[in-house]
Structure 1
């Protein structure tokens, strides 16, 4: 048996130290019972694929990754190694993109989402963010989306009004009582965060289905309407008119995620009973507001992408709508691979090939990441079964080409949501040789500036006190709103209880009326029973008399038979009514004569 070892080495070329390669990780799915595995682990970074073809030759192909997670690796290990560094960058104002890729049924959704007791990357990221910033969150509605991929700082009055509107909306939807899925919190947090900054977290969730973008959190549209992609003022791509909600806890984020999961497109195929038919993207944006200047915002974004699995029609046997969906999924994945191949060739050979970002919504949406707007990581999920061998090789080729792509290292950038006055010190004023009058004027100007600086300092303390007072007012107003809400709830409950009491009272009166009718019927039945008893007694008496007569008649007949005397019916009747029978008198007289 011939063994052919083919080891793929990474290309060695001079790279810019300011560029970071796309980090590609691999995770192996546990093989099923009685299933032959086609891959084996050579080292923590090298994976070998082995198969036997028709010529009885064993081929072994080696692939290298940043790190390989075996089938025994836990969800927490994957999170710590892959996603935790992204969260550290996220809270420092840097962007990140993490997506899972692999054959259908290879465990991509499990790696990214997990379940209640064994949460995946997404739940752990949300828990870690709020475990870290829970004590440093900005007031609700203080930071608001401007609907153009940016944010703005609202006044206290506008923030209070928006918060009251949200409370009213939440009170109207509180009756639904959804039993949403939650995830276990292990208490992980980021240690090194800026405690002098206020944080706000915004979440959006959408999917790319048949090369169209659909918002999974949009409740206003009765029918699904596709969204369009646009560029903001900083040439960054975003989904126009997407619902982006501010969340203050992990539970609120999970509620939105579960709502989107119910609307996500899935299908039942031969290979996977719950197959994702779309690419789903969960965006987590963290907005930081420095306390020094309330108009400078630091915006960072973490995009978690669950790519739909690549499929082969001869295996899935899809037809109709499933076949159309599979075609769109494969086309978008091919566009992603083409963009990465062109990027790699441009970076390694110095070519100037066009990168076709616009060939797919998926590649157009993440164009900014590949152009240096954030860190990119990918988890390749592998099902080591022999049936997936050929498709796994295509996935490995894609992962190999992705590792050679270099992305410019992103830096934290502040954006301004309004004018922020800059403080100028006297040391920054250049010294100029002037006449005595000018020097005197400058001294007066300097004194005036000092006085103004002192006034600004005092004004700043007053403004801080005013801000604290306004915050207390907002808290009191919120308590008042909650009190009114509780009062309305109590009134509703009281009305319900009063209605219940009226219903019970009416039922009681009805029951009393029915009881009186029952008593009357009972008396009538008792009278009928008494009358029937009298009738029965009379009947019994007649029956008894009849029986006595029958007994006497039979006795008389026996006597007559003994005497051989036959009585006429008239004599029998006379004897029964008390008239003595002549024959009987004669018989008695004859007896006395004989004596």
Structure 2
């Protein structure tokens, strides 16, 4: 690895080290789960940084990338670690070869690959034609070892209940002929999968220690677990659409797929053809991390059935054994789908559903192993939830001691997969702490259970069948009359064989009688079960019929609700469009109102400025007129004083021009008139200013011109100015205005200057200091002015409100 040298720097030595420990609890009756690790080689042509360093043959270190804030180092131990330079042959010899030896000895084995997507699980298991993986090498090694020791085809037949039986040669011949007919009728695409044969390189490996006295038959099956449902990849009866299979348990507490197709193969090529047909149907899709990502867990089962042959006696003749039996060994090769993180794959739709199902099944596997380890370490008796997933439920008997369990953890050492590698290595560390009971211990327990069932005379299904029994053949004897001794010995030999056949026939008849009785008991028991099952099926059919009717009604209701929902959605869209139009209209009106308020404010400011300027000009003009009149009055006073002095003097009277006296009197009158006009202008504010012509309209005596008043008998007419619409208070006392004119806004001057109106009332409503709502009526008199206008003089305020008599002051 190009990036491995950076772990030898002094800074790397200062990292915090955490070392995991492997449990040392040993038990002679249990074996641990063997966990191996394989590192995927880094891509050529690039230098990606690595987060894993191999420390020894069974220890590796996981280092935190430099981009993380906290750096640490964790060590993990395995049974063996395969580097990126390890060959497929090396992995097969270390892992799969011992399992195949156990299978040929009648034992079971489970091997599954685990890791994140794109870490090399499928390649480790299958490889390619030039560099085969574990599965092709296992098949080649198996047929290399049993070559020449295979039983005739169809002699050993599956009983469809996870067991096998031996049938006669005639039945086997008929089955072979039927298989040939079916093979000719089967389309080529269904027989060969994709139509292309796989030719793997055969390394010539053999198993040395096999029993050459036995006959062997090999059966293969291929299933997948997709979205927590089991499908048979070799089932051609259902066409392109695969049917969901159920899981069942046989008499030895082993789980199997009910109705699975088990193909008897007589060569490695036939096994490869079956595997290729299953691969053609397997769920595979492209994701962001892997162009050929497995979307399901695939299980390829290889079952080797051994049949014991007749032994040879001391005379060199074949001797019939006391009883024939078969021995079955099974090897399950599991390619687990890779765990995925949505933030990296960006899966949506069906890919997201598949990823969720994959992660849930892997989590169930991890939970079951954690509970098993906890029960073994802490001596607990917690229930292991095998039924949470089809994956764990199918391999339940393996974890309970029915064979050897091995796991290959595939790791992609790049920094991008650091987070996933942490979880994978934690799972691997926990898995190898789980102890599996040895098969011998489990089988002894099962045998005791079967014996106990026999004592209770409970009819049980048998997995081993001994109906295939041979009798010694009668030899051909030639009588030589000349040599009587030879004839006598030949006759004795034939008589011995006939006696042996007779004794064996009696034994077979006795055995057949016993089997007939056992079969009758089984048939009676099955008949009882059939009757009960029929009744149960009838009741279930009734329930199903009711549920279907209920489901139909619910479907009708659902359709009605969907139609109503569509109508409501259409109405909702229409209302939303109306709301949008109204909002747009409101926005336009708000904009116009804001513009109007802005213009009104500007107009008000201009009026205020003009009014202030006019008031200043009026004040200046009044001051000038007052000064002028004062000077004139002084002059007139001086003249009057002179006239008074002349009149009172004893001097002879001076004739004065009458015109001058009239002028003097007129000046005095004008002076008094100006004073009265000035005092009136100072008392009223913002009223019409009288012109000079209006001042001279007054009488010479200085009294103002009389106002035209309306007769009191005509009654008072009120001008009611409602600035707001007041809320009713419910008070008993209410304002009384018999003749009135109500306005909400004073838009023109004629509203005030109307001569018919003499009273003014302003209505306002606001909360008082204590928060109580109060209506105020501001009353005033409308007085006409000399200039033809009118002024409003407020003289009274009425308040209307309610108070509680018990309210504290």
Find the aligned partners of 2:23 and 2:249 in 1 and give their Cα distance. Answer: 35
Report if the CA contact (8 A) 1:339-1:355 is conserved. Answer: yes
Given candidates 211, 214, 219, the residue that maps to 1:202 is 219
Mapped pair 1:142 → 2:155? yes
Report if the CA contact (8 A) 2:139-2:271 is conserved. Answer: yes
Cα shift at 1:460: 7.8
Find the aligned partners of 1:55 and 1:81 in 2 and give their Cα distance. Answer: 37
Find the aligned partners of 2:463 and 2:297 in 1 and give their Cα distance. Answer: 30
Given candidates 313, 322, 330, the residue that maps to 2:359 is 330
Report if the CA contact (8 A) 1:298-1:415 is conserved. Answer: no
Q: Identify if the C-alpha distance between structure 1 residues 298 and 5 changes in structure 2 by more than 3 Å, giving closer, same or farther.
A: same
Report if the CA contact (8 A) 1:296-1:415 is conserved. Answer: no
Report if the CA contact (8 A) 2:296-2:336 is conserved. Answer: yes
Mapped pair 1:68 → 2:112? no
Cα shift at 1:18: 1.9
Cα shift at 1:453: 9.0
Report if the CA contact (8 A) 2:295-2:358 is conserved. Answer: yes
Equivalence for 1:31 = 42
Report if the CA contact (8 A) 2:300-2:334 is conserved. Answer: yes
Mapped pair 1:189 → 2:206? yes
Cα shift at 1:232: 1.2
Give secondary structure in 2 for the equivalent of 1:372.
Answer: coil
Given candidates 312, 334, 342, the residue that maps to 1:305 is 334
Equivalence for 1:246 = 264
Equivalence for 2:247 = 229
Report if the CA contact (8 A) 1:211-1:328 is conserved. Answer: yes
Find the aligned partners of 2:497 and 2:432 in 1 and give their Cα distance. Answer: 55
Find the aligned partners of 1:276 and 1:84 in 2 and give their Cα distance. Answer: 26
Equivalence for 1:408 = 437
Q: Identify if the C-alpha distance between structure 1 residues 138 and 458 changes in structure 2 by more than 3 Å, giving closer, same or farther.
A: farther
**CA displacement 1:2-49 (0-9 Å, x = unmatched):** 411111011232x32121110000000001222111101000000101
Cα shift at 1:180: 1.3
Find the aligned partners of 1:188 and 1:238 in 2 and give their Cα distance. Answer: 30
Report if the CA contact (8 A) 2:225-2:390 is conserved. Answer: yes
Report if the CA contact (8 A) 1:86-1:96 is conserved. Answer: yes
Find the aligned partners of 2:58 and 2:375 in 1 and give their Cα distance. Answer: 26
Cα shift at 1:295: 3.8
Report if the CA contact (8 A) 1:100-1:112 is conserved. Answer: yes
Given candidates 84, 87, 105, the residue that maps to 2:97 is 84
Mapped pair 1:3 → 2:47? no
| Counterparts of residues 93-112 of structure 1 (less than 5 Å) | 93-112=106-125
Equivalence for 1:277 = 295
Cα shift at 1:52: 3.2
Find the aligned partners of 1:347 and 1:105 in 2 and give their Cα distance. Answer: 34
Cα shift at 1:349: 1.0
Given candidates 161, 180, 184, the residue that maps to 1:171 is 184
Cα shift at 1:297: 1.0
The structure with the largest alpha-carbon Rg is 2
Mapped pair 1:219 → 2:219? no
Give secondary structure in 2 for the equivalent of 1:185.
Answer: coil
Q: Identify if the C-alpha distance between structure 1 residues 49 and 55 changes in structure 2 by more than 3 Å, giving closer, same or farther.
A: closer
Report if the CA contact (8 A) 2:218-2:265 is conserved. Answer: yes
**CA displacement 1:268-303 (0-9 Å, x = unmatched):** 100001000000000000000111456411011000
Report if the CA contact (8 A) 2:224-2:232 is conserved. Answer: yes
Give secondary structure in 2 for the equivalent of 1:136.
Answer: coil
Give secondary structure in 2 for the equivalent of 1:282.
Answer: strand
Equivalence for 2:30 = 19
Mapped pair 1:162 → 2:149? no
**CA displacement 1:477-500 (0-9 Å, x = unmatched):** xxxxxxxxxxxxxxxxxxxxxxxx
Find the aligned partners of 2:434 and 2:500 in 1 and give their Cα distance. Answer: 52
Report if the CA contact (8 A) 2:167-2:468 is conserved. Answer: no
Cα shift at 1:415: 4.8
Equivalence for 1:316 = 345
Find the aligned partners of 2:426 and 2:407 in 1 and give their Cα distance. Answer: 14
Give secondary structure in 1 for the equivalent of 2:18.
Answer: strand
Cα shift at 1:195: 0.3
**CA displacement 1:207-245 (0-9 Å, x = unmatched):** 000000000001110322100001112221100011101
Report if the CA contact (8 A) 1:104-1:275 is conserved. Answer: yes
Cα shift at 1:57: 4.1
Report if the CA contact (8 A) 2:124-2:134 is conserved. Answer: yes
Give secondary structure in 1 for the equivalent of 2:424.
Answer: helix
Cα shift at 1:103: 0.5
Find the aligned partners of 2:54 and 2:103 in 1 and give their Cα distance. Answer: 32
Given candidates 125, 131, 134, the residue that maps to 1:118 is 131
Equivalence for 1:543 = none
Find the aligned partners of 1:325 and 1:238 in 2 and give their Cα distance. Answer: 24
Higher helix share: 1
RMSD between aligned residues: 2.3
Give secondary structure in 2 for the equivalent of 1:213.
Answer: strand
Give secondary structure in 1 for the equivalent of 2:337.
Answer: coil
Find the aligned partners of 1:353 and 1:317 in 2 and give their Cα distance. Answer: 38
Q: Identify if the C-alpha distance between structure 1 residues 419 and 179 changes in structure 2 by more than 3 Å, giving closer, same or farther.
A: closer
Report if the CA contact (8 A) 2:283-2:294 is conserved. Answer: yes
Cα shift at 1:172: 3.3
Provide runs of 4+ in structure 1 moved above 6 Å.
451-454, 457-461
Equivalence for 1:470 = none
Report if the CA contact (8 A) 2:111-2:406 is conserved. Answer: yes
Q: Identify if the C-alpha distance between structure 1 residues 69 and 161 changes in structure 2 by more than 3 Å, giving closer, same or farther.
A: same
Find the aligned partners of 1:175 and 1:370 in 2 and give their Cα distance. Answer: 40
| Counterparts of residues 471-482 of structure 1 (less than 5 Å) | none
Give secondary structure in 1 for the equivalent of 2:420.
Answer: helix
Report if the CA contact (8 A) 2:371-2:384 is conserved. Answer: yes
Q: Which runs of 5+ in 1 are unaligned?
A: 423-450, 462-595
The total of aligned residue pairs comes to 433
Find the aligned partners of 1:106 and 1:361 in 2 and give their Cα distance. Answer: 24
Q: Identify if the C-alpha distance between structure 1 residues 421 and 168 changes in structure 2 by more than 3 Å, giving closer, same or farther.
A: closer
Find the aligned partners of 1:268 and 1:337 in 2 and give their Cα distance. Answer: 26
Mapped pair 1:265 → 2:283? yes
Find the aligned partners of 2:67 and 2:268 in 1 and give their Cα distance. Answer: 54
TM-score, normalised by the number of residues in structure 1: 0.70
Report if the CA contact (8 A) 1:3-1:57 is conserved. Answer: no
| Counterparts of residues 381-392 of structure 1 (less than 5 Å) | 381-392=410-421
Equivalence for 1:59 = 72
Deviates more, 1:270-279 or 1:234-243: 234-243
Give secondary structure in 1 for the equivalent of 2:54.
Answer: strand
Find the aligned partners of 2:27 and 2:151 in 1 and give their Cα distance. Answer: 39
Find the aligned partners of 1:375 and 1:155 in 2 and give their Cα distance. Answer: 34
Report if the CA contact (8 A) 2:166-2:468 is conserved. Answer: no
Q: Identify if the C-alpha distance between structure 1 residues 161 and 193 changes in structure 2 by more than 3 Å, giving closer, same or farther.
A: same
Cα shift at 1:307: 0.1
Find the aligned partners of 2:429 and 2:255 in 1 and give their Cα distance. Answer: 27
**CA displacement 1:67-122 (0-9 Å, x = unmatched):** 00000000000000000000111100000000000010000000000000000000
Give secondary structure in 2 for the equivalent of 1:52.
Answer: coil
Give secondary structure in 2 for the equivalent of 1:258.
Answer: helix
Q: Identify if the C-alpha distance between structure 1 residues 55 and 162 changes in structure 2 by more than 3 Å, giving closer, same or farther.
A: closer
Find the aligned partners of 1:54 and 1:87 in 2 and give their Cα distance. Answer: 45
Give secondary structure in 2 for the equivalent of 1:315.
Answer: helix
**CA displacement 1:143-185 (0-9 Å, x = unmatched):** 0001111100011111000001111222334866832122111
